[in-house]
């Protein structure tokens, strides 16, 4: 079946792209061949005066290249060839003798935007669903089909670098202001306006575009000295943001620079050379693998084979309207578009929770990710009460109350008296085993865990945790609803701490032990942000709340023994009223909710004196290997079904550095034997908690790895 359907409307060929059997259009070598044949035919057709390229997919123009082809590249020569072929395809469009117009609605990303840039004119819809960008750096790559050359020439070097180096998508309105698109129209008239514009271009030619940017644009974008200043500043910002771990932004910057200073042919050559180097590099390999794995997770049913129908969630009940409950409610209304009913013990708390949930929608409205009519419709989905009125209609109830077993059991008992017998009941616990919560349930088969991460609206991961008696249909229903909420979902075993907190707690505990030895707060956190984490472990403790961390550490010690004995400094900080950000002071000071530096008073509260001359290498090794060892141990206990699930969970749940691929991938890269040797050395120096996990020793002896790819 052809991906293109062409209609001639009074001399305008409207070519509708609709790749058969796929939810979105993506560029592939096969599609490129078909497009070449289409252009050859249209060039020879005397009845065609201009061409409109439009998508037949809902809410998607072209979502980018087919990422699978990147995963299959084996040599730099192969990658360079792929880029050269794509550049040639875009050159064919740019040099087409008849005007070619791109009519854009929905995602226009990566190779899709590069194709649009090669067209002579671009019209986009004003829908929030229209997103335009070059996100290749997020895969450790650079645009490889001429994007580094055409975008700066169209909108100026500053605006182009801002998009390319960050890999950020822009709304259509912003793209219009930048000059990236020529017209902005409602979706309902996109086709008719595009045909009219193509007719105009065929009759009058492509209009000249005015220079943009005013005086600053003239000085910085259009003079060699000005551009040199822009390059230096862009390089400085890219290094600061990437920490030097990601080579793609600097490669993209160099491709742009060469093209603007030495001409487009030299720029295209630099682009395909740099693309080839990156595509077979370690960082891109890992980032592409993460993308492929995450995409696969969206379709994975985790081997669940329900005997009966899978519940479809249309109405959601949330018990607990605090920070987590309100976040769940607002995110569910925004993304899953379901009715949400909040319940708390007191009406003022319910009202506060509703306001917090609506604030998530307000933020999207303010950032123009939601149109006002949509915002009003979604706000109307959220309601609440101080009793369980409305819960009889709920298909799913999520409990988000205090992390205390007795309280959670009490809420479960109350909810079971209110809801239908076929409703799913989920507890948002971070450490308590689900089987313990479900022990007194009337229908334990419908009880499971849905562990969201804070803040719910921003954190992409959801752990779904069935206990041994959970019905597969309930688990699958929770998985599918989590995806509707926009989450990447993994199913994990019902063990204390589950997966993410299981591997996180030893890391945080080791940070506490380092603090008790007098290692300065800033040394610990700076070491780990340089390693690649978005925040250091001490700052993370402040964010989580030291009282929450103390309780979680107690649960983990009870489950796993003395190797997870918590550092005494956490209890001392809690006793001193230093709970972290929520109390305004912890290890750091906070002013107006923002971190304002290390609080020197924290050392007195901990009962330690900071010492100098600490080796950052030792700090890094203790913290990293504490996590790696626990990840190996948990994987060996089958807490996660696969190494893929474990690494995606660590990446999205705790911000494990993506360029390292995840803790299990890192063990594979280092080699289980080497990891076990380092752990044995740490155990000798610092204690038995570093004793290598049995699975590491077995893998070292058998020459095995966690990943098979």
Which residues are known catalytic residues?
Answer: 463
Q: How far apart are CA 149 and CA 118, in angstroms?
A: 10
Q: Under a CB-based contact definition with an 8 Å cutoff, are residues 256 and 148 in contact? A: yes
Report angle CA 705, 476, 361 to the nearest 5 degrees. Answer: 100
Sheet with 315-319, strands from edge to edge, namely 382-385, 339-343, 315-319, 396-399, 424-427, 447-452, 461-466, 488-491
Closest CA to 255 of 173, 136, 357, 353: 136
Would you put residue 646 in left (φ > 0), alpha (ψ -120 to 50) or beta? alpha
Q: How far apart are CA 555 and CA 234, in angstroms?
A: 47
Closest CA to 677 of 701, 657, 705, 646: 701
Q: Under a CB-based contact definition with an 8 Å cutoff, are residues 336 and 357 in contact? A: no
Pairing verdict, β 12-17 and 4-9: antiparallel
Q: How far apart are CA 381 and CA 351, in angstroms?
A: 14
From residue 430, alpha-carbon distances to 103, 401, 494, 495, 653 in Å are 47, 11, 11, 11, 12
Helix (H) or strand (E) holding 530: helix 521-531
Q: How far apart are CA 211 and CA 198, in angstroms?
A: 23
Sign of CA dihedral 534, 536, 539, 545: positive
Residue 558 neighbours by CB distance under 10 Å: 11
Where would I find the beta strands (DSSP E) of 118-162?
A: 121-125, 131-133
Q: Name the β-bridge partners of 585.
A: 580, 589
* Non-local CB neighbours of 13 within 8 Å, separated by 6+ positions: 6, 7, 42, 45, 48, 50, 51, 52
End-to-end CA separation in angstroms for the chain:
32
From residue 452, alpha-carbon distances to 249, 285, 341, 510 in Å are 32, 29, 18, 24
């Amino acid at each position: 079946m052809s991906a293109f359907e062409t209609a001639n409307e009074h001399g305008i060929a409207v070519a509708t792209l609709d790749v058969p059997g796929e939810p979105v259009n993506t560029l592939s070598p096969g599609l490129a061949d078909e497009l070449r044949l289409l252009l050859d035919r249209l060039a020879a057709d005397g009845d065609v005066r201009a061409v409109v390229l439009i998508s037949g997919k809902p809410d998607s123009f072209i979502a980018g290249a087919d990422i699978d082809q990147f995963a299959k590249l084996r040599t730099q020569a192969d990658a360079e060839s792929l880029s050269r072929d794509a550049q040639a395809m875009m050159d064919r469009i740019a040099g087409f003798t008849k005007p070619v117009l791109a009519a854009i609605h929905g995602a226009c990303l990566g190779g899709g935007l590069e194709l649009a840039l090669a067209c002579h004119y671009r019209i986009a819809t004003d829908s929030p669903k229209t997103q335009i960008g070059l996100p290749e750096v997020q895969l450790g790559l650079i645009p490889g089909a001429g994007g580094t050359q055409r975008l700066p020439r169209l909108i100026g070097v500053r605006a182009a670098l801002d998009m390319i180096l960050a890999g950020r998508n822009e709304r259509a309105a912003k793209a219009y202001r930048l000059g990236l698109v020529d017209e902005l129209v409602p979706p309902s008239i996109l086709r008719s306006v595009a045909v009219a514009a193509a007719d105009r271009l065929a009759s009058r030619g492509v209009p000249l575009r005015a220079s943009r940017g005013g005086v600053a644009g003239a000085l910085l974008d259009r003079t060699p000295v000005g551009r040199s200043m822009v390059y230096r500043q862009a390089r400085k910002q890219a290094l600061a943001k990437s920490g030097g771990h990601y080579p793609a932004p600097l490669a993209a910057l160099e491709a742009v620079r060469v093209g603007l200073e030495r001409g487009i042919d030299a720029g295209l050559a630099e682009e395909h050379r740099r693309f080839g180097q990156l595509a077979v590099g370690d960082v891109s390999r890992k980032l592409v693998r993460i993308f492929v794995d995450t995409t696969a997770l969206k379709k994975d049913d985790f081997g669940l084979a329900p005997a009966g129908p899978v519940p479809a969630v249309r109405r959601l009940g949330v018990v607990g309207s605090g920070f987590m409950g309100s976040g769940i409610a607002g995110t569910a209304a925004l993304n899953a578009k379901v009715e949400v009913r909040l319940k708390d013990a007191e009406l003022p708390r319910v009202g506060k929770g509703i306001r917090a949930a609506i604030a998530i929608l307000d933020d999207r409205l303010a950032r123009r990710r939601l149109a006002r009519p949509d915002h009003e419709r979604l706000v109307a989905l959220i309601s609440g009460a101080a009793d369980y009125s409305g819960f009889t209609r709920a298909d799913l109830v999520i409990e988000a109350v205090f992390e205390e077993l007795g309280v959670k059991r009490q809420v479960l008992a109350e909810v079971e008296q209110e809801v239908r017998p076929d409703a799913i009941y989920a507890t948002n616990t971070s450490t308590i085993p689900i089987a313990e919560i479900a022990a007194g349930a009337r229908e334990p088969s419908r009880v499971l865990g849905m562990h969201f991460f804070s803040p719910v609206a921003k954190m992409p991961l959801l752990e779904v945790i069935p206990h041994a008696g959970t019905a597969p249909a309930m688990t699958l229903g929770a998985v599918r609803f989590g995806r509707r909420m926009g989450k990447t979902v993994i199913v994990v075993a019902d063990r204390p701490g589950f997966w993410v907190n299981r591997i996180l707690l030893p890391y945080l505990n080791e940070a506490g032990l380092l603090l008790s030895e007098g290692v300065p707060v800033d040394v610990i956190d700076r070491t780990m942000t340089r390693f690649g984490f978005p925040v250091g472990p001490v700052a993370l403790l402040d964010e989580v709340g030291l009282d929450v961390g103390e309780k979680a550490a107690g649960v983990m010690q009870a489950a796993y023994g003395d190797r997870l004995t918590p550092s005494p400094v956490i209890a001392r900080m809690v006793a001193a009223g230093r709970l972290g950000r929520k109390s305004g002071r912890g290890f750091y000071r906070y002013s107006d909710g923002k971190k304002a530096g290390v609080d020197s008073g924290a050392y007195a509260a901990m009962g330690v004196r900071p010492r100098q001359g600490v080796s950052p290498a030792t700090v890094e090794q203790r913290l990293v290997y504490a996590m790696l060892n626990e990840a190996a141990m948990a994987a060996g206990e089958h807490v996660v079904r696969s190494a893929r699930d474990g690494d995606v969970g660590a990446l999205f749940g705790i911000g494990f550095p993506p360029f390292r691929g995840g803790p299990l991938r890192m063990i594979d890269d280092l080699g289980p034997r080497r990891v076990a040797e380092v752990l044995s050395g740490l155990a000798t120096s610092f204690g038995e908690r570093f004793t290598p996990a049995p699975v590491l020793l077995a893998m070292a002896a058998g020459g095995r790895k966690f990943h098979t790819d």
